[in-house]
Chain A
Amino acid sequence: DTAVSQTPKYLVTQMGNDKSIKCEQNLGHDTMYWYKQDSKKFLKIMFSYNNKELIINETVPNRFSPKSPDKAHLNLHINSLELGDSAVYFCASSQVLGLAGPPGAKNIQYFGAGTRLSVL
């Protein structure tokens, strides 16, 4: 069983469309994340949720809206897609958020295989 699974794996769409990427983790983790990897392989966090609550919201355009219906799911909806949105989007999860004190094994983030989004 895949621990962190994302669908779809590939997404090709036209500029201006609205699309969603789904993420599910079966690890029982409390915290989930979305990262964006650009064409130069640079990885940057977009959002994190802890127990369905938004914790981190980097300076991401409000066209991007994460939704967490429950702890095991964190979906990413993107409105009015632009060419610059083309990237690989990774979902990740960790057992706890653990902001206080040093991170232990519970803070290790586990990543999905990624969704390659191409906006034409």
Chain B
Amino acid sequence: AQSVAQPEDQVNVAEGNPLTVKCTYSVSGNPYLFWYVQYPNRGLQFLLKYITGDNLVKGSYGFEAEFNKSQTSFHLKKPSALVSDSALYFCAVRAYTGKLIFGQGTTLQVKP
């Protein structure tokens, strides 16, 4: 069965510091991985996806994610965090049926 895990409920970072939000996955076959962000009282917004090719994927708002097949990870990163990045982040894998299977979500708190 396909699954996604986000081991941290919350990540706290000071503004200007680099941030990492962790995600590990379990799939059979090629993984198709996504990151979404949810701002308070809003729907999810697509950030980036990994399908194939370069292990480092660049997305919206300066975010990037690194695909690591040997560690089955797809961590979200940003070199310099902004207070406005504070939100709930979801990692997801696309199942063979087309549906997205989401991780538990990680709250990112960026403090000034």
Interface residue B104 (Cβ < 8 Å from any Cβ of A): yes
Contact call B90/A103, Cβ cutoff below 8 A: no
Q: Is the CB of B98 within 8 A of A41?
A: no
Is B22 among interface residues, defined by CB-CB distance under 8 A?
no
* Interchain pairs with CB closer than 8 A, number: 64
Contact with B along A84-120 (1 / 0, CB 8 A): 0000001010000111001110011111111000000
* B97, B98, B104 pick with most chain A CB within 10 angstroms: B98
Name the interface residues of B57-112: CB closer than 8 Å to any CB of A.
88, 90, 94, 96-102, 104-105
User: Is A56 positioned at the interface, with any CB of B under 8 Å from its CB?
Assistant: yes
Binding-face segment, A11-19, A42-50, A61-69, A70-78: A42-50
Interface size class of A (residues with CB under 8 A): 20 to 34
Q: Is the CB of A112 within 8 A of B98?
A: no
CB of B51 within 8 A of CB of A104, answer yes
- B26-44 CB contacts (< 8 Å) to partner A: 30, 32, 34, 36, 41-44
Residues of B within 8 A of A (CB): 30, 32, 34, 36, 41-46, 49, 51-52, 88, 90, 94, 96-102, 104-105
Using A102-B32, A110-B46, A111-B43 as known contacts, list a sample of 14 further A-B pairs with CB atoms less than 8 Å apart, ordered by residue number in A. Answer: A40-B104, A43-B44, A43-B90, A43-B102, A45-B99, A45-B101, A48-B97, A48-B98, A56-B97, A56-B98, A99-B98, A102-B52, A111-B45, A113-B43
